[in-house]
Amino acid sequence: MPTSNKSSGKFRRAKARHLLFTTGPNKLSGGRLFRKHFDQSINLHNVTIETPKWPTAFDGLRIGHVSDFHLGDLMPINRALRAVELLKTQEPDIVVCTGDVVDLYVDGASPLLEALAAIDAPLGTMLVLGNHDELDCDRTLTTMAKNAGVQILRDASCRINHRGNTLNIAGIDWAKTSKQCRAKVKSVCNEETHLLLSHNPKAFRVASELGVPLTLSGHTHGGQVAMPNRKGANLAVARGYTAGLYEKNDSRLFVTVGVGAWFPLRVNCPAEVALITAKTTG
């Protein structure tokens, strides 16, 4: 049986931050912070990404991209399922989740994972893990995903065969530093990789060196507080890649601001599910 990490220092520190920035302030506000947060909408973000390196056989592929649900106090299951339903209405060809399915505890994540699989995208549903997914028990979450019918890529790659053509997808576990990202990406990507899934957008630095056409990430939440009409100017700006589309040579990175939150405030940075249309140029 999988063993929980609840006794680890990392989990205890995360729980203390949760009390300091989330449940504590909400209690002091008499519950108003949570109520205001739950009243905010979850937007649909349509984005077209073009690169000459994207395979012509998959020109126009529609990728449903979600990340950072942080299922827990700030993301009740019903709100998470509404976000999934919004994505389902767009009928994506493939669904990918770039981590942080849960906030602290893995309990209760199965219905969300099952809903993602139930979108029934023709090319399947893929998942990589984020840092919060490792706090309680990453192995339990991995088992939940597999049982739900979600393909989980843990420092691994896979091939999607469709109408005689192959789409090569790689995914890495949580890696905090650029050095750690570099090692993981190099272990799973090569010149044939088309799509990289990484919770941490820092993986794009080495992915672009390797010529990976498209990298999808989350993690930053877009800082949750941004300047008006300037999603890239936000509280996470020190991280480098924080929100939206980035280009380096023929490689592209898209960082979603995510569905959930780790503190109950979003300003000029609404939660989102993303529908990406990947296009070949040349």
Amino acid at site 56: T
Percent residues over pLDDT 70 in the chain: 99
61 touches 124 (CB < 8 A): no
List, for residues 95-147, the tens digit of each pLDDT value: 999 999 999 999 999 999 999 999 999 999 999 999 999 999 999 999 999 99
Q: Contact at 8 Å (CB) between 148 and 124?
A: no
pLDDT at 2: 63
Q: What is the pLDDT of residues 82-99, one digit of tens each?
A: 999 999 999 999 999 999
What CATH architecture does domain 42-280 belong to?
A: 4-Layer Sandwich (3.60)
pLDDT of residue 282: 72
Mean pLDDT calculated for residue range 20-25: 92
Q: Return d(Cα 70, Cα 58) in angstroms, integer.
A: 31
Q: Residues 231-256: what's their mean pLDDT?
A: 90
191-229 in b/e form (b: 16+ CB < 10 A) is eebbbbbbbbbbbbbbbbeeebbbbbbbbbbbbbbbeee
Tell me, what's the pLDDT at 216? 98
Are the CB atoms for 203 and 181 separated by under 8 Å? yes
Average pLDDT over residues 193-198: 98
pLDDT at 264: 94
pLDDT above 90 for 233: no
> In 3D, which of 79, 116, 70 has the Cα closest to residue 94?
116
To the nearest 10°, the Cα dihedral for 96, 68, 206, 158? -30
pLDDT in tens, 57-80: 999 999 999 999 999 999 999 999
CB 260 within 8 A of CB 103: yes
- Short-list 86, 82, 85, 142, CA closest to 109: 142
pLDDT at 1 over 50: no
Question: Residue 97: beta bridge partners?
Answer: 66, 127
- Work out the mean pLDDT of the chain and round it to a whole number: 95
Domain boundaries, the chain: 42-280
Contact of 32 with 256, CB cutoff 8 Å: no
Q: Considering all CA atoms of the chain, what is the largest pairwise distance in Å, rounded to the nearest integer? A: 59
Q: For residues 229 and 16, which has the higher predicted lDDT (pLDDT)? A: 16
Mean pLDDT of 158-182: 96
Question: Could you say which DSSP state residue 199 is in?
Answer: S
Q: Is 224 helix (H, G, I), strand (E, B) or coil?
A: coil
Residue 277 makes CB contacts below 8 A (sequence gap 6+) with 46, 47, 48, 49, 60, 61, 62, 63
> What would the mean pLDDT of 37-64 be, rounded to a whole number?
97
| Structure tokens that stand for 91 in this block | 């009928």
Report d(CA 180, CA 167) in Å as an integer. 25
In DSSP notation, 179-195 reads HHHHHHHHHH--TT--E
Specify the pLDDT at position 178: 95
Residue range 154-175: average pLDDT? Answer: 97
For residue 276, pLDDT over 90 is answered with: yes
Residue 2 DSSP class: -
pLDDT at res. 230:
79
Beta-strand relationship, 226-227 and 230-234: antiparallel
Task: Record the tokens describing residue 18, joined without a space.
Answer: 């949760």
The whole-number average pLDDT for the span 154-165 is 96
In this prediction, residue 238 carries a pLDDT of 66
